[in-house]
Structure 1
Amino acid sequence: MSGSFAAFFILSLLTIGGAVFMISFTRVVHMVISLGVTFLSIAGLFILLEAEFVAVSQVLVYSGAISILMLFGIMLTKHDAIEDGGSRGVNRIVGFLIVAVFFAICFWAIQRTTWPGPAPISQPDVSNAKQIGMEVFTKYVIPFELVSVLLLVALVGAIIMAKKEGDNE
């Protein structure tokens, strides 16, 4: 068992565990913290894939997003979480069984699949960030600019909507 396999196994468990806890917790703060664990674990998986730039981007973008999500989640929700005991236990058992069957099918399919070998690296002397930059600004310039315009329009729309709400009060 190699170190990279052990790291992959641990990060995979953290990713899946964080996602499962995120949907099963009832308090917003716990949900956001488990979402943060999931995103950090995914960044670790990117590092194992030697995509350091994507991993750093994941941490920078989603750490900011998670802090904002936590602020809005705490401000906009009720904090007196009342547990309803009715059919919640039955739903958990059925949900667990569905997830277990899905996991077994996926595990069986992954074990039966023959995977091709790794692709050869075309430019070993070029860094990962430089390769991403070359791809984005040569092949994908138009989609990149369209996304930036879309984000700008969303920002302006949010400001206009917030100003209209503030004027009504």
Structure 2
Amino acid sequence: MVSNISAFLSNGENVAFFICALLAIGGAIFMINFTRVVHMVLALAMTFVSLAGLYVVLRAEFVAVVQILIYAGAISILMIFGIMMTKHKGDIEEEPNRPWHNGLLFVGAAGLFGLIFYCIQTTQLQSGELPEMADNTLEIGKQLFSLHVIPFELMSVLLTVAFIGAIVVAKKEED
């Protein structure tokens, strides 16, 4: 089992995948556990950026760039603007003291990790090679602007209407 781990970590792509996966999982866990909304948004942005790193490792560069532009950039900024435009109470509710709760959560998570790790190590998968695409970004662009141009334009109109609606709602609450 240790030889499988050392063989896995001997490849740079696998190490990058492992680091990006840990950052994505860590960001998701932090997002759930933080109590301040701004910290939650930053943890969510970390998850989005690490997912973009996973896409780069998987040779989907276009999806990685879109992930950073749309999710890590636009949605995170939109969430922060939404937080800044709304009023929040200053007091934070105290969570009841449950000493067994965190211990049981840790034991359950470690058990699940161990079970998944054992299943991955004992499973025999067939190896194969996928054909290398010449340029996946070019193919996506051809498909997007030839076959799917109407849904693309409808989505841009929908996003513009949603943005204008958010501004109108924010202005009404201000008055």
TM range (shorter): 0.7 to 0.9
Is it true that 1:78 corresponds to 2:89 in the alignment? Answer: yes
Equivalent positions of 1:136-155 (< 5 A) are: 136-155=144-163
Match of 1:132 among 137, 140, 143: 140
Aligned residues with identical type, % of pairs: 44
RMSD: 2.9
Q: May I ask how many residue pairs the two structures share in their alignment?
A: 163
* 1:5 Cα deviation after fit: 1.1
**Structure 1 runs not aligned, ≥5 long:** none
TM-score under structure 2 normalisation? 0.73
Equivalent positions of 1:43-82 (< 5 A) are: 43-61=52-70, 62-76=72-86, 77-82=88-93
Distance 1:110 1:134 in 2: 38
Is it true that 1:13 corresponds to 2:22 in the alignment? Answer: yes
Distance 2:129 2:89 in 1: 50
Match of 1:34 among 19, 23, 43: 43
CA distance 1:75–1:146, change in 2 (3 Å) = closer
Stretch moving more, 1-10 or 67-76: 67-76
TM-score under structure 1 normalisation? 0.75
**Structure 2 runs not aligned, ≥5 long:** 1-9
Contact 1:22 1:31 in 2 (8 A): yes
Equivalent positions of 1:105-124 (< 5 A) are: 105-111=115-121, 112=123, 114-115=125-126, 117-121=128-132, 123-124=133-134
Q: What letter matches 1:138 in structure 2?
A: S
Q: What letter matches 1:12 in structure 2?
A: A
Contact 2:85 2:170 in 1 (8 A): no
Q: What letter matches 1:31 in structure 2?
A: M
